[in-house]
Amino acid sequence: MRSFKDNERSLARLGFTQDVDVCRVKANAGALTNFEVLNLINSKGASKDTTRVIAAIARSEYKVCDYLNETVASTQTLESVTTFSDKCKDFKLAKAEILNIINIRPSVDFKALLDPIIEEPKERGIDTDGILELVQDLLPPLPVVETQMEKDQDETNNGEES
């Protein structure tokens, strides 16, 4: 579980400051990864347990939180995102390209997903295989989400076996 200091460092990295229990963002903190957005919303106390809310959270923030919890952002850590970003600098990728790779976390057909993310990789001399290795080594895989239909099927199968 993440400590308060980890959240504080993460928020500071994103341009947030703590001032009398109020989080404020710098006017131009730049683009954020889905992980960073999820971390921010969670730091305000958004979760399934509404009694743990720290700051006022809009309904739209709950919806964003629910959505991001079903994406790769929910399995990422500050360490994995930071390490991946730092190592991608060796490939001379633009910040927006790195951000998109982190948010999408291509896994199955990486080459097909990479084309719209990275502009002219061959002309720029970008090693796409090296990036794929980094993705597989540093970014956690997509979360396994069991659909309601699968849950119902499992319950039916378990009931028949008894």
The string of pLDDT tens digits covering residues 23-46 is 455 556 688 899 999 998 888 777
In-domain check, residue 100? yes
Domain residues for the domain of 123 are: 78-138
Please say if the pLDDT value at position 150 is more than 60. no
Cβ atoms 76, 141 nearer than 8 A: no
**What pLDDT was estimated at residue 113?**
76
> What mean pLDDT is reported for the chain?
75
Q: Which of 74, 90, 109 is where one domain is finished?
A: 74
Single out the residue in 59, 74, 89 at which a domain terminates: 74
State whether 91 and 54 are in the same domain. no
Same-domain status, 67 and 12: yes
> How many domains does one find in the chain?
2
Same domain, 90 and 67: no
CB 106 within 8 Å of CB 37: no
Considering 53, 74, 95, which residue would you say is the last residue of a domain?
74
* pLDDT 10s digits, 93-111: 999 999 999 998 876 666 7
Answer yes or no: is 13 within a domain: yes
On whether both 14 and 69 belong to a single domain, the answer is: yes
Find the Cα–Cα–Cα–Cα dihedral 114, 119, 121, 127, rounded to 10°.
-50
Question: Is the sign of the CA dihedral 105, 107, 108, 111 positive or negative?
Answer: positive
Rounded to whole angstroms, the Cα distance separating 123 from 71 reads 32
What pTM does this model have?
0.67
**107, 141 contact by CB (below 8 A):** yes
**Residue 20 CB-density burial (10 A; 0-12 exposed, 13-18 middle, 19+ buried):** exposed
How many other CB atoms are found less than 10 A from the CB of residue 44?
A: 16
